[in-house]
Chain A
């Protein structure tokens, strides 16, 4: 009996093991433009905007939204399962080149365009940005006279909250120590990061810069003079199967979206609790991109 249990463990291990060489050979889809989005409401609104302008121009579109995090969906994009995806220049560059040192928007964009695998290209980036940032509460900032990440270096017992993967990111605890001499203990707070900061369970929180709660809760975003974070503008990633006509339509959406617009879209999402399609539609109409 016990021996058989061991066999069973080995067998289920076998089932789980074949995990490294995951080369899928799916062919790029033919007809509709497959648009993906992250499992992030803000990203979904942008993807929805792409979808609606394309549909309005007569393209057929397939929505594959909320596909999880970058590390989950990028293989699908590289395998040609998705044609168009709203991305962020800095974060995507770090995905391909973890040791990337570019910090300005233009440099990051150029480096990203060079780093993208064959078959994919970065369309024109949008002025709108949404990037990782380190935030503290207003009280904590005032009490410790904090304006920059560098100011944290003298503080002890700092607890950094963020998604589980932040532990391994170049701008995570390791980057904080190497660039700024800031020592933190990491708490994987996931989707409860902002709440954990407000509840005092962590003292420093990694929040996307376009998160409406930064202003709602009066969080203080610490400046990053040494460029721990890469500039991260919204950028559509398109496969070669996306035609020039379609690209022109998406470029117009990117050009129209200002940083303030993106935050405003996010505010509508969390405050008015509207769906991505309604928010995207209203915004496109207000910009004259849709009638």
Chain B
């Protein structure tokens, strides 16, 4: 606790960079995954799924290390970690997004078509809102795991809250490691709660009490 109080502004700074490294991949990865889930034709779904599954299996540490060599990006700076985290976010979110869209009942879609909606209207007004619960559920997983995996970036020199783990382990300061653990967990849980609230706000019809059979 003492260490935490003495270093809180330093921790706050690290938390800020941690967020700046994690938020872009969460947004970017999710948007790309949702678009992919919508536009990839059914016959390519199995290969896509297989490729994403294999990419998901690449250890994050290895991906952080080899990206600058593969992409020609700078060796230092957060770019490599942001790209790697975006790739993971896509692999995770793609599956959730596909499930979410598949759960939209076919009957609802047919009805909207019959009501004279065009494809765009159907997507914006029917399909997307109905997929929101599934998308939010997927987004919550992506958000929490991105915040948590980002800390491994500290091993390859991207300074964020993960720095507290490495530095604390070298200097044998348990408080430093625990401060990092608490800070990351709090951020991840806050984001999780925020997304949950967002989901509720976006689907007011689900909160209405409905008599169930």
Contact = CB atoms under 8 A, between A and B. Distances in A.
Direct contact of A and B (CB under 8 A): yes
Interface of A: 1, 4-5, 7-9, 11-12, 15-20, 22, 24-26, 36, 39-41, 64-68, 72-73, 75-76, 79, 81-82, 191, 269-270, 273-275
A289 B208 CA distance: 69
Given A19-B70, A273-B3, A75 B75 contact: yes
Contact of B47 (A4, A40, A66): A4
B169 A19 contact: no
A81 B176 contact: no
B167 A81 contact: no
Contacts of B7: 275
Given A11-B51, A15-B58, A24 B157 contact: no
B54 A9 contact: yes
A269 B171 contact: yes
B196 to A, nearest CB: 33
A81 B75 contact: yes
B76 A73 contact: yes
A4 B53 CA distance: 11
A76 B75 contact: yes
B52 to A, nearest CB: 8
B75 A24 contact: yes
Band of interface residues on B: 35 or more
Contacts of B46: 1, 4
B172 A270 contact: yes
* Top 10 A-B pairs, shortest CB-CB distance: A8-B54, A67-B157, A22-B69, A76-B75, A68-B157, A12-B54, A8-B50, A19-B69, A4-B50, A18-B70
B201 interface: no
Contact of A66 (B74, B77, B166): B166
Contact of A5 (B54, B70, B74): B54
Contact of A24 (B47, B72, B166): B72
Interface string B167-202: 101111101100000000000000000000000000
29 contacts: A1-B46, A1-B50, A4-B46, A5-B54, A7-B47, A7-B51, A8-B53, A12-B57, A12-B58, A15-B55, A15-B58, A16-B63, A18-B69, A19-B66, A19-B69, A20-B69, A22-B72, A24-B68, A24-B75, A36-B76, A39-B170, A40-B170, A76-B76, A79-B75, A81-B74, A81-B75, A82-B76, A191-B169, A274-B6
Given A8-B53, A15-B55, A273-B3, 15 more contacts: A1-B50, A4-B46, A7-B50, A16-B66, A19-B66, A19-B70, A39-B154, A40-B170, A66-B154, A68-B156, A68-B157, A79-B75, A81-B75, A81-B77, A273-B6
Interface string B62-102: 11001011101111110000000000000000000000000
A25 B75 CA distance: 11
A91 B157 CA distance: 20
Contacts of B171: 41, 269-270, 273
Contacts of A67: 76, 157
A226 to B, nearest CB: 30
